[in-house]
């Protein structure tokens, strides 16, 4: 099977942080948007189902993108705020900061 250049994962947002998390993503910092673009991330979408969120983006080199984000002051500030809201890790300096979902189907 062909693979896409999509990367996806899920996170659960703590109930008490849900409103704040949504507000941050409804009005994201422009620096964050620019840094993700510079990292090579495109077509980034987040979908919500209650407090479960599904994240999906396209990227030719995820390791390089995550390395870039890990060194970004703006992204580290954003992640310091949002990491308190998620169940799991937002630390891009970890070996696997996000547990990716396995792609099982791709239609070009």
The tens digit of pLDDT for each residue in 35-67 reads 999 999 999 999 999 999 999 999 999 989 989
- The answer to whether 37 touches 87, Cβ cutoff 8 Å, is no
What pLDDT, on the 0 to 100 scale, is given for residue 88? 73
Q: What's the chain look like in SS3?
A: CCCCCEEEEEEEECHHHHHHHHHHHHCCCHHHHHHHHHCCCEEEEEEEECCEEEEEEECCCHHHHHHHHHCCHHHHHHHHHHCCCEECCCCCCCCCCCCCCCCCCCCC
Give the pLDDT band of residue 95 (cuts 50, 70, 90).
Answer: low
pLDDT tens profile 5-21:
999 999 999 999 999 99
Domain 6-87 has CATH 3.40.309.10: no
What pLDDT, on the 0 to 100 scale, is given for residue 90? 64
Q: Is the pLDDT of residue 27 over 80?
A: yes
Question: Domain-by-domain residue ranges, the chain?
Answer: 6-87
């Amino acid at each position: 099977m062909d693979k896409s250049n999509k990367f996806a994962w899920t996170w659960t947002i703590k109930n008490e942080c849900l409103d704040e998390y949504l507000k941050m993503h409804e009005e994201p910092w422009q620096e964050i948007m620019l840094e993700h673009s510079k990292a090579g991330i495109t077509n980034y979408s987040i979908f919500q189902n209650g407090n479960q969120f599904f994240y999906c983006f396209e990227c030719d080199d995820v390791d390089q993108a995550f390395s870039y984000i890990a060194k970004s002051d703006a992204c580290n500030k954003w992640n310091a705020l949002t990491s308190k809201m998620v169940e799991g890790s937002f630390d891009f300096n970890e070996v696997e900061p996000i547990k990716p979902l396995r792609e099982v189907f791709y239609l070009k």
